[in-house]
Structure 1
């Protein structure tokens, strides 16, 4: 009898977890994400042939797969790959990238320099952490488990990394990288 109770409780727990993992919802893309037309990765590499799906794009979470969140965006189906942030469960991962409130409203109230940097998927001095994420995406959580730290380690390709340094007020004070990568990720 005890084994049946334990098995029943385990089954209910598994069903609850499966139902939670299948949470579907509508929202908006939190950040500029690069796509090859079918795949957007949490690494957000700027490889040739990829285009940017802009922050604020309406998006629907339509399912979950192995280390991916299936989404409907711009009339097509894509996946957001949890390639490097696997310490986040898929629903938490989905809610990081697909947000309930349209970020475009916030962006409209930012100074012109910040708006232009976000639109061009680059960082500029004085941006907040939220604005950096809107522009270039979130840092990979396995390297940046806490977003409130003074330095974010970011990547534009598997070989080109950069660091975003924040001052005590939580605003970008500098970006450190090689000159070639700096042109791609930073605007004065």
Structure 2
């Protein structure tokens, strides 16, 4: 292969892999309820003891990137969102998944009261769309859910408590499958 072709291929490959330090910083809003220990939130979004929820729609600023993490500023404090289980998504795309440009509050206000309440409580209920489920409990991790349009999303409230959100053909929650204890923690009636 001639050297000029190798240079073109190298340039194209380099354009695909953007280093963390070159990812964009921007301001926006949390797309989803995010569970944090105060300085760290994982894309698994576990509801472990001692974690609090930063509500969907909270204004945030993406300030930088580290190894498998997005640094954000929330209410004047620093926070990291860990890309722990969705590493097939580059950090820029991962940041844009969790920090959106449009405040979700206006959209949430148009949802039925039952859906609004479930989102506020960080719970899932029948009839929710995929977007509404994400707003309530976060995006499913891509290592277990490579396609967001799949019929079933595998989710966890802890490392040992899985629940499955099953969608109907119209893309709405048909059922939530899990053990009774986890169901009490995740499902809004």
Q: Is TM > 0.5 for Structure 1 vs Structure 2?
A: yes
Aligned pairs for 1:101-116 (under 5 A) are: 101-116=102-117
Deviation (angstroms), 1:187: 1.1
- String of CA shifts for 1:3-56, please: whole Å, max 9, x gaps: 799679858975883488421011100000100000011000000000000000
Match of 1:88 in 2: 89
Contact 1:20 1:91 in 2 (8 A): no
Aligned Cα RMSD in Å? 2.1
Match of 1:165 in 2: 166
1:118 aligns with 2:108: no
Contact 1:21 1:90 in 2 (8 A): no
Aligned pairs for 1:13-24 (under 5 A) are: 14=14, 17-18=18-19, 21-24=22-25
Cα distance change, pair 19–123 in 1 and its aligned pair in 2 (3 A) = closer
Farther off after superposition, 143-152 or 18-27 = 18-27
Matched residue count: 187
SS of the equivalent of 2:184 reads: helix
After TM superposition, the runs of 4+ consecutive aligned structure 1 residues lying more than 6 A away are: 2-5
1:58 aligns with 2:79: no
**CA–CA separation in structure 1 for the residues paired with 2:13 and 2:125:** 46
Match of 1:143 in 2: 144
Q: TM-score, normalised by structure 1?
A: 0.92
Cα distance change, pair 152–61 in 1 and its aligned pair in 2 (3 A) = same
**CA–CA separation in structure 1 for the residues paired with 2:121 and 2:102:** 21
Q: TM-score, normalised by structure 2?
A: 0.92
1:97 aligns with 2:98: yes
